[in-house]
Structure 1
Amino acid sequence: MEQVVAGRFRLGRRLGSGGFGEVWSAYDERLRVEVALKRVRVDPQASDTERDAVLERAEEEARHAARLRDHPNIVTVFDVVADGGTPWLVMRLVQGRTLGQEIREHGPLGPVMARHVAAGVLSALEAAHASDVLHRDVKPANIMVAEDGTVLLVDFGIARGFTLTTQTVLVGTLPYMAPERLNGKDSPAGDLFALGVSLYEATEGISPFARDTPTATMAAVALEEPPPPVRAGPLRGLITALLEKDPAKRPSATAASVLLAEGGRPREPGRAEGEADRGPDRTGAAGPPVVLTRSRMGVVAEYTVTLTKACFWAFGILGALVGLCSDPHTFDFDLPDWAMEVLPHGTRLSNGFSMLFLLGAFGAVFFLPILFFSGLFNADPDVVTIGPDGMTVTRVNWKGQTRQVSDLPWDRIERITVDLVQGHVIARFRGGDQGAEEWRQWDHQYRLEAVDGGHLVYSHRGDGSIAPALLRAPLRRFAGSLYREESDTSS
């Protein structure tokens, strides 16, 4: 039987759980909309007074989050209701995945996607800190990437530490806690440290401070310097600054946003504070990125037709060899008379042609349904996103899940062009082969091959890829002066 909360919200499926509660999808029967409900954990043995205290504290934290409800990077909190003495927070239902899920299932992010995540979270923290609201539990599990690409900070302001007797305790997730928080000192700088740990994990694939025991983890947070990030690319400087042990040396959310706009690099000598280092001269456009992809069924159809043709010719050639090697006087077909009138026979050559057709058709028809269903699970379309920061290639599997394949920020290259004859996108890296090798270390190495004019970074090879001709207009728009038409590549 479905559970109804507060006589209004019909629970659906459980979306996730953590140390402070469980999150469910739900249907608001009064407003007839879908929402998310978070049940705050309460000890079943708690007294009525303790339950009232928990509800009061949840309402207080919900008010903090509600002050930020209009921010595009913060999940809206609509209300807090009580059901049987248990507080439930009513929130916007977001269709998407957490950053933690993406890291676990698809590995580290490339710098372009990581920069997009950092920008969204920094924007949320900047607004929160301006309103005197702290998050206290920034981590990949609390960062969501919606289906439309929007980055959202969830559980905002809810994770304030308290027990059922309302005594303040150390609350949060140990590997993401700032050193000063271990001493009971809360400040906006603690949220920035947690973001630095999250970005380190997102780009490197491992946590810099997680250890086998809580004591070892706290010692690592307080005393150990993390290994320098090697896959963070231009975010290396930002991550290093956010992981400063001394909170006074950490940038604020506003300063971190400026550092992010500068590409995450320290300010060059002689350059005024706030003046951005834009890397190579580029006059590309701003604005929302262009996303190019193909329908899954179209990719499956292409996959099926291509391999069915291969089956026809493989079986057909085998049949032709059998026919050519047969004795034309004794070789016969066990076929109806009408088929014998259509198919040539009686000589080795005619037997070869007939067997090519027969066995080829048999192989194609037999394997056609097998290849179709194989394509449904294996033929993944590319999704090429070209925007102000660079070009990202992802793939969408049959479950609708995406995995990052390649990430190419503009500040890593000197030139990019499209070879329509070969179907290649070719980039010339800053620093030549050395720059390409550095890119190889932190990228997923989608198509990094040395070719004339630079390195191959995308190619129209295989099913699911995008025709490079379709990439020319968005590359011209966003790469700006870095983009060269084919006739300009010699300049």
Structure 2
Amino acid sequence: MEQLIGLVLKDRYELVRELGRNPGRRTYLALDRHRYEQVILKLLLFGLDMTWDDFKLFEREAAVLQTLDHPGIPRYLDFFDVETPVLRGFALVQTYIEAQSLAAWLAAGRVFSEADLETLADRLLDILVYLHTRQPPVIHRDIKPTNILLGDRSGHELGNVYLIDFGAVQTAISGATRTVVGTYGYMPPEQFGGKTVPATDLYALGMTLIYLASGIPPINSPNTICTLSFNGLLP
């Protein structure tokens, strides 16, 4: 899909750089030529690897983002059909956040102190309280280091914290869904059966904090949650 770079969608959004890809999906840094600012543009493409569940999740992500207004969550900007000579599908546009993921910080060698982890937990819990107290509650379902952004440190401040990628989001109208999504190592056992509740996100946050504290990815140490304590980081 490298040939898509430079393509302008809706006579407005110019694709600048690919940021990620999954089956049927592409994520790009794009330029909004009307407002001359960078945005994030997600594409769901028609093709052999696109499923009906992919469409439902993509549509749900757009619908849920339209209802959210929190400084730690990207803002919804646009949603539209895409039909060009080279691709067909749907596009979701949201605000661009100039920050690196926790995964990128770890790869760069950053070490998080206990105070850092306490601050990080507090700020992420603030976002989760906002999501979980909505009616119906909004459950992210895929909290992990790649989906948490952290801005540059300012003095002794940790930096701004953001929760991104609501592609797995679920509104908890009921306690179960047939669509099982998430990331192994960060998912509680019941999530494998399609059941998600607000505590699902707390488990994933806990595993993320343990990873940051220990340096051991959950997938490499499935018993980590039993052998390490949260040291008061979670209530």
The TM-score, its normalising length taken from structure 2, stands at 0.79
Matched letter for residue 236 of structure 1: N
Aligned equivalent of 1:146:
151
Q: Does 1:23 align with 2:18?
A: no
The reply to whether residue 100 of structure 1 matches residue 103 of structure 2 is: yes
Displacement, 1:17? 3.9
| SS of equivalent residue, structure 2 residue 121 | helix
Partner SS state of residue 39, structure 1: strand
Following superposition, the deviation at residue 87 of structure 1 comes to 2.0
Q: Which amino acid aligns with 1:3?
A: L
Q: How far apart are residue 175 of structure 1 and its match?
A: 0.8
Post-superposition CA distance 1:158-210 (Å, at most 9, x none)? 2148xxxxx93321101100111122211011000000000111111112x31
Shift of 1:130: 0.9
Q: Whole-Å Cα distance in 2 between the matches of residues 28 and 176 of structure 1?
A: 35
Q: Which has the higher strand share?
A: 2
Equivalent residue for 1:237? 232
SS in 1 for 2:168: coil
Q: Distance in 2 between matches of 1:236 and 1:16?
A: 34
Match runs of 1:54-453 below 5 Å = 55=55, 57-68=57-68, 70-84=69-83, 85-131=88-134, 132-147=137-152, 149-156=159-166, 158-160=167-169, 168-207=178-217, 209-211=218-220, 220=222, 225-228=225-228, 236-238=231-233, 256=234, 259=235
AA of the residue aligned to 2:143:
V
CA contact (8 A) 1:37 1:89 kept: yes
User: What's the offset of the Cα at 1:151?
Assistant: 0.1
Q: Mark the CA change 1:225 to 1:141 in structure 2 (over 3 Å): closer, same or farther.
A: closer
Give ranges in structure 2 of 5+ residues lacking alignment. 171-176
State the match for 1:314 in structure 2: none
Distance 1:181 1:137 in 2: 10
Taking the aligned partners of 1:57 and 1:225, their CA distance within structure 2 comes to: 29
Q: What SS is found at the alignment partner of 2:227?
A: coil
TM-aligned CA distance change 1:136 to 1:19, over 3 Å: farther
CA 61–8 in structure 1, closer or farther in 2 if over 3 Å, else same = same
Question: Does the Cα contact within 8 Å between 1:108 and 1:204 map onto a contact in 2?
Answer: no
Alpha-carbon distance in 1 for matches of 2:120, 2:22: 22
For 1:45, the equivalent position in structure 2 comes to 48
SS in 2 for 1:202: helix
**What amino acid maps onto 1:159 in structure 2?**
A
Identical counterparts, % of pairs: 29
After TM superposition, the runs of 4+ consecutive aligned structure 1 residues lying more than 3 A away are 16-22, 53-57
Kept in 2: contact 1:137–1:172 (CA 8 A):
yes
- Higher relative contact order, chain-length normalized (CA < 8 Å, sep 6+): 2
> Aligned partners of 1:108 and 1:136: how far apart in 2?
26
Q: Is the 8 A contact 1:54 1:87 kept in 2?
A: no
CA distance in 2, matches of 1:141, 1:66: 22
TM superposition shift of 1:56: 5.8
Deviation of 1:30 after TM superposition, in Å, equals 2.4
Deviation of the 1:114 alpha carbon: 1.6
Give the deviation of 1:107 after TM superposition. Answer: 4.4
Give per-residue Cα distances to partners, 1:399-431, cap 9 Å, x unaligned: xxxxxxxxxxxxxxxxxxxxxxxxxxxxxxxxx
TM-score normalised by structure 1 residue count: 0.40
Q: Residue deviations 1:227-253, cap 9 Å, x none? A: 225xxxxx5133xxxxxxxxxxxxxxx
Change in Cα spacing, 1:196 to 1:60, as seen in structure 2 (3 Å) is same
Greater per-residue helix proportion: 1
CA RMSD in angstroms comes to 2.7
Q: CA deviation at 1:20?
A: 7.2
Q: CA-to-partner distance for each residue in 1:278-317, whole Å, 9 max, x for gaps?
A: xxxxxxxxxxxxxxxxxxxxxxxxxxxxxxxxxxxxxxxx
SS in 1 for 2:213: helix
Question: 2:142 touches 2:168 (CA, 8 Å); kept in 1?
Answer: yes
Separation in 2, partners of 1:64, 1:110: 34
Instruction: Quote the residue 2:173 is aligned against.
Output: none
